[in-house]
Every structure is written in C-alpha cells, then in structure tokens.
Amino acid sequence: MEQQTGPGGTSATGIDPALVRAAQQGDPLALADLMELLTPYVGRICGPIARQDGPDAAQDALIVILRGIRQLREPAALLGWARTIAVREAVRVAQRAGRTVTAPLDELRAAGDPQLATDVEDALARLTPEHRAVLVLRDLEGVDESTTSSVLAVPLGTVRSRLARARQSFRKVWES
C-alpha cells in the first residue's frame, strides 16, 4: 500500500474537494489557495530530483498542475496526479540543465559528520535525474514499484535496477 502524505503533512483527504472544484472553475483565489497547499508537496519531490533547479521544476510542475486541473475528474486523486506531474517535470528540468556529476563516490564524508546534509546532496548529485526520481518515489514517497514504473513510464525491471544503483550510492555514504 503506497503512502499518501499530503501538503503540510495532511492526509490525502485533507484538501477540501470544494476548493478543488472552485479551482477547476477558474476562481483565482481558489487556484492560489490550491497552489499554496501543493507547493510544499511539489517542492519536496522536485528538490531532490532537480536539485539547484528545483525551484524551476516546482514552478513548471505547478503550472502544468493548475492549467490541467479541469481534467481531474476526482478531487481525491489530486495528490497522486500532482506527484506524477512533479516527478516528470523535475526529471525534464534536470535533464535540460544537465548538471549530473559523474565522479566516483570515494570522496564523500562519513556518516555522522556535521556535513551529512551536504553528503546526501553529493550522493544525489552523482546520480542521473532518472535514478533520483526512483529514489524519491520509493524511499521518500513510499510508492510501490508498480506505481513508480507507471509514473516514470519505464518497465518494472528498469525501476528495480535504477533503485539498486541509487541505494548503492547512498550505502557508500553511510559505510564510508
């Protein structure tokens, strides 16, 4: 069962369906309120995948989400739909920026070091955007492999191999 965590830590049902419907009718205040609710959630997905281009990715993802909100038939499906868009926009923006570092992981600091957050960022930087997306979906969002495969439009085997590679990179951080 995949985890359903919403903006600001609320449950998936925490977004008022009436707000979604008002946004679907084009009400500017409703669209702005929905943007405020979705921004932390979208930012949490776009940050690790697009890294320093995360704000660009989050901005583009929210534009796609709010422009397409009329197509959403069921308000309860909002977060899953937004997550798919955020992941795809983050990968697209990160690929366009082409900032992936391909150097080995040997230089990373040991776990417990005050620079731990920097080390995590370093480990992320050495993965491709596609690998980061798998890691975010599986380990940060708690999404199952099948859903991850669907969100990224890649075969299940590809999800597994990317996840193994991504987790191996992080293991080197903790064990170094």
Phi, psi of 142 (to 5 degrees): 70, 25
Check binding of 37 to other proteins (CB under 8 A). Answer: no
Closer by beta carbon to other proteins, 162 or else 170 = 170
Sole binder of other proteins in the list 15, 42, 134, 151 (CB under 8 A): 42
Sole binder of other proteins in the list 10, 11, 17, 29 (CB under 8 A): 29
Sole binder of other proteins in the list 22, 66, 105, 154 (CB under 8 A): 66
Sole binder of other proteins in the list 9, 28, 98, 104 (CB under 8 A): 28
DSSP lists the bridge partners of residue 11 as: 5
**Where do the H-state alpha helices sit in the chain?**
17-24, 28-50, 54-67, 78-97, 116-125, 129-135, 145-152, 156-175
Check binding of 35 to other proteins (CB under 8 A). Answer: yes
Nearest CA to 74 among 1, 24, 144?
Answer: 24
**Residue 95 Cβ, how far from other proteins at the closest point, in Å?**
16
